[in-house]
Amino acid sequence: MHLAQGQGDIDEFLEANLEDAGQLTVNYLEPLIKGVGYGLNNGWYNTAKPHSKGFDITITATPVFIPDEDQFSTFVATDYNDLELITPSDGKVPTVFGPEDIEPLYQIPSNGETFTGPAGNSLEDEFGFNAVPMPMVTLGVGIIPNLDVKLRFLPITDFGDDVDVKMWGVGLLHKINQYFPQGDQLLVDISIFGGYTHVSSEISLEGNYPGSDQIGAYSVNAWTLEGVVSYDIKFITLYGALGYNQVNSDLDVLGNYQVDSEVITDPISESFSYSGMKLTAGFRLKLAIVSLHADYSLSDYNTLTVGLGLSVN
């Protein structure tokens, strides 16, 4: 099962009342949206040294690793108005990254009706790990001394017939050695980096219920502020950073859905946010104008970034 298919099954939650359906949807997709947000805050830089008047363009791949515990969410009855979990009996309900052989069975106490929720996608069984892949292209341009402007976008906007993704971002890398006494004589480059990235996605939800304009949509706004240090050894650059991530997300189920004899419109709208510290370490290998870099970041969701670029100073 593909990840997009799992997202496309969230309308199964509409069998519950709207408030309960919203809570079920958040619990199911939260690891995915959180992973996307943390992935967006990576891959911005591979050195603390801005260009003098040059530029670089870099293609990066950033898998965001999902912790094993986030393959499941715990069903807490008091979080719901009119819903009980029948199976699994241990209360561990699969998220979008959970196993695909567990479909939770719910009951609505007020009318005795039951329905099944979506299973997970078992990515760990297929690939050996659970991760959100984040490919992107980043352009860095030195516009004035000690300052780079960075722009980024997602090179792929269509993941099949039912999924559309759009992404853009902007960042600034500012060297601050000059503000320290004899800072220009330091062996390392020290910079402050700030970046913002926005991603939005829509997936078709048509198929389970009669209706029209049935779409699942989410948007993620990711901010990062970091102190970056790098040290050059011939053609190798070692770099590290310490910073802070902020991720804000909106999740909506839009359109008209005929559930039993009732037609409901735009049934789910949820918002949530995450924040935390981030520690990054990596290296860059630069030969002439070609560079290859890799780094690893520790945060709530750890990330690995690998990039290939062209750089002209």
**What are 220-277's pLDDT values in tens digits?**
999 999 999 999 998 999 999 999 999 999 999 999 999 888 899 999 999 989 999 9
The domains located in the chain, with CATH, are 3-312 (2.40.128)
C-alpha 129: how far from chain center = 16
Give residue 2's pLDDT band: very low, low, confident or very high (50, 70, 90): very low
C-beta neighbour count of 252 within 10 angstroms: 19
Sign of CA dihedral 69, 72, 75, 79: positive
Sign of CA dihedral 303, 304, 308, 313: positive
Q: Which residues pair with 228 in a beta bridge?
A: 191, 241
Mean pLDDT on 198-219: 88
Q: What tokens appear for 281 in the block? A: 């370490």
User: Model confidence over 50-98: pLDDT tens digits?
Assistant: 998 899 999 999 999 999 899 999 999 999 999 999 999 999 999 999 9
User: Model confidence over 101-118: pLDDT tens digits?
Assistant: 889 999 999 999 999 999
User: d(Cα 244, Cα 222) in Å, to the nearest integer?
Assistant: 11
Q: What tokens appear for 81 in the block? A: 């108005």
Instruction: Return mean pLDDT, the chain.
Output: 89
User: Model confidence over 163-199: pLDDT tens digits?
Assistant: 678 899 999 999 999 999 888 889 999 999 999 999 9
Looking at residue 10, what is its pLDDT? 78
Looking at residue 125, what is its pLDDT? 63
Give residue 8's pLDDT band: very low, low, confident or very high (50, 70, 90): very low
Looking at residue 5, what is its pLDDT? 47
Give residue 157's pLDDT band: very low, low, confident or very high (50, 70, 90): low
Please state, in angstroms and as integers, the Cα–Cα distance from residue 96 to each residue in 103, 234, 246, following that order: 11, 45, 22
